[in-house]
Amino acid sequence: MSSSERIAVAAHLHVLLRRKTGRVTDTEWMATNQEYAHEIAQLAREKSAEEGNAELGIWADKLEEVMRTTGPAVARPLIQRMSEAAKVHGARSLNSPPQAAPADASRAYLFVDAGIQRQNEPRYVKGLR
């Protein structure tokens, strides 16, 4: 199973635990850390037995199965993921000169949002706000 399937199972269990017990978990950490996933699965089974909610136990089993059938995921630091995303999307460098703002009617919205209304300027959705 892929990491997205692990995250999907972890997210579903997270929602169930939140709704049924009020417990908040870290979905991404659950999908990447075997020990944390095991502890959350144990907690879900305990709550399932206490409250008679079989669904928690079923999803705890699914989580442990997904974590067993896939290799350990390597969690990359957020800064690394952001850097890679910026490279992919062609973000401009902090050292590059700023680009000129487009000279179209959308600039009028800046004045509307600031509380300054120019006469005869187009407004958001033909005057509705």
Separation CA 90–CA 74 (nearest Å): 25
Q: 3-class SS at 19?
A: helix
**How wide is the angle at C-alpha 56 spanned by C-alphas 51 and 61, nearest 5°?**
135
Higher pLDDT, 89 or 63: 63
Q: Is the pTM of this model over 0.85?
A: no
Q: Whole-angstrom Cα distance, residue 36 to residue 87?
A: 32
Q: Which residues of 116-127 are buried (b: 16+ CB within 10 A; e: fewer)?
A: eeeeeeeeeeee
Confidence band for 83, pLDDT divided at 50, 70 and 90: confident
- The span from the CA of 10 to the CA of 27, in Å, is 5
Residue 98: per-residue pLDDT: 59
**In the 8-state DSSP scheme, what is residue 60?**
H
Give burial (CB, 10 Å; 0-12/13-18/19+) of 30: buried
Task: Among 7-21, 45-59, 86-100, name the one with the lowest average pLDDT.
Answer: 86-100
Q: Average pLDDT over the chain, rounded to whole?
A: 77
The widest CA-to-CA distance across the chain, in whole angstroms, is 67
Q: How far apart are CA 36 and CA 8, in angstroms?
A: 16
Residue 8: pLDDT over 80: yes
Q: Name the pLDDT band for 42 (thresholds 50, 70, 90).
A: very high
